[in-house]
Amino acid sequence: MEVFINPTELSRIYRNAYSSEVRGLELTLSKIWQNSLETHFNYTLQEAKYGDTGEQLNNYPQNMFKMRASLPLDETWRLNAQLIYIDSMYIPHYANALHSEAEHTDVPSYTTVDLGLTSTPWKGLEWGFYAYNLFEQDIYHSYLSYPASGIESLKLGGRAFRIKLSYHF
């Protein structure tokens, strides 16, 4: 399935890709240490192509990396940190061929850092404070790519703060 933008209506068009081939490798390492430090590493390498043309599939980053750590501060509080890297993504402009000389756009890669402070005051209840995209990196979403209108991709919001409250039965 391929998604592109109708140039006259700026609406999404879904087109059957007929066939595709995706090959990849994913490696995950997780460990809980003696001091209750939790670490998690994940790396994904993928190559995604249309089966009929051999062209790169759109919206598939070749490399993705995630590193997460959760450190206990005492019996109820934990400090959480996460780093995420997403490689650039290829976006063809099939619908835009008459309106733009660019045949494709690469949505830029990005790296974000998130921090959180969580507490479990009693069994089942968890609450926390989170800061996402701490260093306010530019993050773009590729689904609304339409360069003839000046829209290469949709820029997502920057730094965000959230408070979370959850109860597990």
Tally the domains of the chain.
1
- 132 is in which domain, residue-wise? 2-167
With 0-12 / 13-18 / 19 or more C-beta atoms within 10 angstroms meaning exposed / middle / buried, residue 91 is buried
Whole-number pLDDT of residue 46: 94
pLDDT of residue 98: 41
Whether the model pTM is above 0.85:
no
pLDDT digits (tens, 9 = 90+) for 30-50: 999 999 999 999 999 999 888
How many angstroms separate the Cα of 106 from the Cα of each of 10, 62, 76, 141? 19, 12, 44, 11
pLDDT tens for each residue of 106-142: 778 999 999 999 999 999 999 999 999 999 988 876 6
100 or 8, higher pLDDT? 8
When the pLDDT of each residue in the chain is averaged and rounded to a whole number, the result is 82
Question: Quick count: other Cβ atoms within 10 Å of Cβ 140?
Answer: 19
